[in-house]
Structure 1
Amino acid sequence: MSENSPFKVFIGYDSREDIAYQVARHSLLRHSRGDVTVHPIRQPALRELGLYTRPVDVTATTEFSLTRFLTPYLAAQQSGWTLFTDCDFLFTTDIRGVLAGLDPAKAVYVVQHEYDPSHDIKMDGKKQTRYPRKNWSSFMLFNNAHPDVKALTPDLVNSATPAFLHRFEWVADQSQIGALDLDWNFLEGEYPKPAKTPRVIHFTNGGPWFAEWVNCDYADLWLAEEAAYRATPEAQAA
């Protein structure tokens, strides 16, 4: 990716959390230099296109639980890097900073969380699930040139088990999973609040758009970003 190439970011879209997506997108673009494009991953659209054919999973926490792994295919790039993030994020810095110092031999970069969730219930009453490498897949920086990333085709995503996908078993050499600093995917409520505001805040248990989570850490930042979004012509025309 050249310095002037647009950086493609895909954000998972859930119909129950439209405002979370809108605020995440707004915060990301507001802190960027204008060379970033943001695309929602909407399951109904992927089904219409025949790209996602798995049976509907009523137990899935979000509508993009597995469609996220179609990100490299949707980006349609033979080189460079593409980012996927969940929608319950708030960005406080230029996202292109994540591209600094990457090793082109790596297949994917993630924040390699090791934690035991502190809540049994999350979001709007969803049961918290526990599994190895939890939340690694909530922020994935894909190397589009890597063969293991190119292999994430609709055929694979539609046939592989959720564990195979979320545990990154599709990366043949596990040493090719790169590690990002924690504050590129800071899990609010799961780690002690740091003195410095994280670059990317992840409201993994639930954010201020849910009544139950209006008092979480960084709620003031999210609510300020929401107000800024709602003041835009785009929001007022919706």
Structure 2
Amino acid sequence: MTMNNTNDLSEKKPFRIFIGYDAREDLAYKVCHHSITKRSSIPVEIIPIVQQDLRKKGLYWRETGQLESTEFSFSRFLTPHLSDYQGWAMFIDCDFLYLADIKELTDLINDEYAIMCVQNDYTPKETSKMDGAVQTVYPRKNWSSMVLYNCGHPKNKTLTPEVVNTQTGAFLHRFQWLEDEDIGSIPFVWNFLEGHNSVVENDPTTQPKAVHYTRGGPWFDACKDCEFADLWLNELEEYNKENKKEGDSAN
């Protein structure tokens, strides 16, 4: 397939990346942010989606439901609105660790789609996550955890604050404002689900480019020994060292 990639990157504008922020996973957000910026060969603009800030701005007002496992369960769908319905932007959960240059991902962008994502076939065995949140099961689970949005696509103008605040979880998380042909596919290694996806020996196409600790990551005590924990802890150590250097130089 020929890629029709005429997004903001061609104009040298920073690629917008919205990361879902949850106060309980502040460290996960910081490490995710660090893992992207240190490897990116293109300019990126990283914006946290903070529910409290969105409420103050009048963009988010829906009541918190019992099945919401994060503070950004629904606010994530404001990504096109927060981008003024222009260009391409990405939303990701904060529990990602990037291991590859984000440019490799943006090179996959195809303007014919309204969104692009990893179309995982994922049914969790666990009934709860490591932080005690309920582990829900539904079609297209985890598809919305990493989405490239063609914010200027006419169908994405459906995602107004009113719709994001009033529509059902099924409508939003299953992308029911779109037809199947509006959804482009990205290789699973960009949303490599820890504990679900596997690396095949001698097959580089199965090596994760972004690990998603969807069951809970090493920032939770119960998950210190999860798969790829060492990679996340190494990134945390590097993040802490760089922060310490910046702090020392400022004094």
- Normalised to the residue count of structure 1, the TM-score between the two structures is 0.93
Aligned to 2:92: 85
Shift of 1:125: 1.4
Decide whether the 8 Å contact of 1:229 with 1:235 is kept in 2.
no
Shift of 1:170: 1.1
Decide whether the 8 Å contact of 1:122 with 1:206 is kept in 2.
yes
SS in 1 for 2:9: coil
Tell me if 1:40 matches 2:36: no
Change (3 A) 1:54 1:235: farther
Aligned to 2:228: 218
Tell me if 1:169 matches 2:176: yes
Which one of 206, 209, 219 corresponds to residue 199 of structure 1? 209
Tell me if 1:232 matches 2:242: yes
Provide Cα deviations, 1:128-157, integer angstroms capped at 9, x if missing partner. Answer: 110010000000000022111122110110
> What is the identity, as a one-letter code, of the residue corresponding to 1:106?
Y
Tell me if 1:54 matches 2:62: yes
Written as runs of structure 1 = structure 2, the 5 A alignment for 1:43-122 is: 43-78=51-86, 80-122=87-129
SS in 2 for 1:201: strand
Change (3 A) 1:234 1:105: farther
Amino-acid identity (%): 46
Aligned to 1:180: 186
Q: Distance in 2 between matches of 1:2 and 1:86?
A: 22
Change (3 A) 1:26 1:101: closer
Change (3 A) 1:234 1:58: farther
Decide whether the 8 Å contact of 1:7 with 1:96 is kept in 2.
no
SS in 1 for 2:148: strand
Q: Distance in 1 between matches of 2:144 and 2:131?
A: 21
Superposed CA RMSD = 1.6
Decide whether the 8 Å contact of 1:23 with 1:226 is kept in 2.
yes
Decide whether the 8 Å contact of 2:20 with 2:76 is kept in 1.
yes
Length, aligned pairs only: 235
Which one of 121, 130, 134 corresponds to residue 137 of structure 2? 130
Q: Distance in 2 between matches of 1:178 and 1:191?
A: 20
Q: Provide structure 2 residue ranges, at least 5 long, that are not aligned to the other structure.
A: 1-7
Shift of 1:87: 0.4
